[in-house]
Amino acid sequence: MSDIFESPAFQEFLQKRCEEITLEDEEYQKISEQILQAESEIKSLISGELLKIFDEYSALNLALLAHACPLVYGRGIQKLFK
C-alpha cells in the first residue's frame, strides 16, 4: 500500500487537491493577495542584486509551501489507511 502513496500519480493528486482546497478558501485568497501586493511594493523599491536575491527568496518560499501542503495532506490520508 505504501507504494501507492509514493507514486507520481498520487503525488500529482495531492498537489491538485491542495490547490483546489486553497482556491476555495477565502482567508487563504485574502492573505495571498496581500502578499502579492506587498511583494509588488517591495519590488518597486529595490533593484539590481537585491531584487535578484528577493526573487530567489520568494521562489524558495513558494517551493516550500508547494512541498509542505501536499506532504501534510498526504500524511493525513496515509494515517487513515494504517
Provide the pLDDT for residue 2: 58
Domain count, the chain: 1
Reported pTM: 0.73
One digit per residue, the tens of pLDDT, for the chain of length 82 reads 557 778 889 889 988 999 999 999 999 999 999 999 999 999 999 999 999 999 999 999 999 998 998 888 888 888 888 7
Range of the domain at 17: 2-80
What is the greatest pairwise CA distance in the chain?
51
